[in-house]
Amino acid sequence: MSLTRRDLLIATGSMLAAGTARAATYPDRPVRLLVGFPSGSGPDLVGRVLADWLSRRLGQSFIVEPKPGAGSNVATEQVIKSPADGYTLLMASGSNAWNATLYQNLSYDFLTSVTPVGRVYRAPAMFVVHPDVPAKTTAEFIAYAKANPNKINMASNGNGSTGHIYGGLFTMLTGTQMVHVPYRDNPLPDLIAGRTQVSFSPISSAAPFVQDGKLRALGVTSLERWYLLPELPTVAEAVPGFDAGGWMGIAGPRNLPSDVVDRLNREISAAIADPTFRTRIGELGGEAIGGTPAEFGTFMADYTQKWAKVIRFANIKID
């Protein structure tokens, strides 16, 4: 049986009407937002701020569920295997991009297995040293490190962690050589004690010790000066092209309906424009940042490609 032009128009109209109806009623029951890290972690806290906003705006509960394990792979795989209906979402992060290279036997390809919805958050790290390190600037530190290859201990909170990977970019772009010292817990106590000399640490964690004089900040890892610390130079001012920052955003299973994606993205965009929401994100040490689903997808692909090169260069392996 052949379809006439009228039949096609009717079918197309019916699909558009169905999508419009779904968007108008979504969500009609609670939505789960899975976070691949423990309660109290950065992704968990940002997820709760966003979930509160979405709950109030859309009239249904958005429930944050921490599902830690394998650097967020456990939560990610659960979302990927969920129905593509908008009721199980992921708080995606930079870890998802890194894991594509760090883990050799993932059961999924992150970029092709999820639907980007919208970016929510970004934050750089702080490049800090122990006060005994004879460097007041990033340029002075590079000179010191080159004069002392493999004599400087760089602390991080684990193999394949943020600090480890940012340090890999630093050594790649500067030609320095440092000894990586991974910790399973907070690396700052040993840095403060002088048992290690340098770290790329979350601003919210390191800033209080910088203010107390227990650590010295040499730079911030964003490409441009950070709006919360405008007086602190960027590492990029001494190392052209150095740009290292974390991010978080919402993604769903592959083939998430476009009308659901669009509705969620509109509400995320409204959150980004709201001064109270932006303040709450700022209190968590980050910046609220949005964009279209397509822009988020492109960003994730570029980020994955960039850091794959760093991870391979620095021969970064997970535990």
Q: Give residue 231's pLDDT.
A: 96
Predicted model pTM = 0.90
The predicted structure's pLDDT at residue 17? 45
Q: Cα separation of 32 and 82, whole Å?
A: 11
**For residues 64 and 49, what is the distance between their CA atoms, to the nearest angstrom?**
10
pLDDT of the residue at 13: 53
What pLDDT, on the 0 to 100 scale, is given for residue 192? 98
Which of 246, 242, 135 has the alpha carbon at shortest distance from 198?
135
Which two structure tokens, joined as six digits, stand for 78?
Answer: 């659960």
CATH 3.40.190.10 domain range(s) in the chain: 124-237
Q: What is the mean pLDDT of each run of 10 residues along the chain (319 residues)?
A: 52 49 81 97 96 98 96 96 98 97 94 98 98 98 98 96 97 98 95 98 95 98 95 98 97 98 98 97 94 98 98 93
Own/partner contacts of 74-79, CB < 8 Å, gap of 24 or more, are 74/36, 75/34, 75/35, 75/36, 76/36, 76/108, 76/110, 76/114, 77/107, 77/108, 78/34, 79/34, 79/114, 79/251, 79/252, 79/253
Q: Outline which parts of the chain fall under CATH 3.40.190.150.
A: 31-122+245-313
pLDDT of residue 185: 86
Asked whether the beta carbons of 283 and 124 are under 8 A apart, the reply is no
| CB-facing half-sphere around the CA of 54: CA atoms within 13 A | 29
**What's the CATH class of domain 31-122+245-313?**
alpha beta
What is the CATH number that goes with domain 124-237?
3.40.190.10
Q: Judge whether 182 and 159 are in contact, CB under 8 Å.
A: yes
Report CA-CA distances (Å) from 286 to 46, 57, 65, 281: 9, 22, 21, 6
As a whole number of angstroms, the distance between CA 262 and CA 164 comes to 36
The per-residue pLDDT for 5 is 54
Q: What is the pLDDT of residue 7?
A: 56
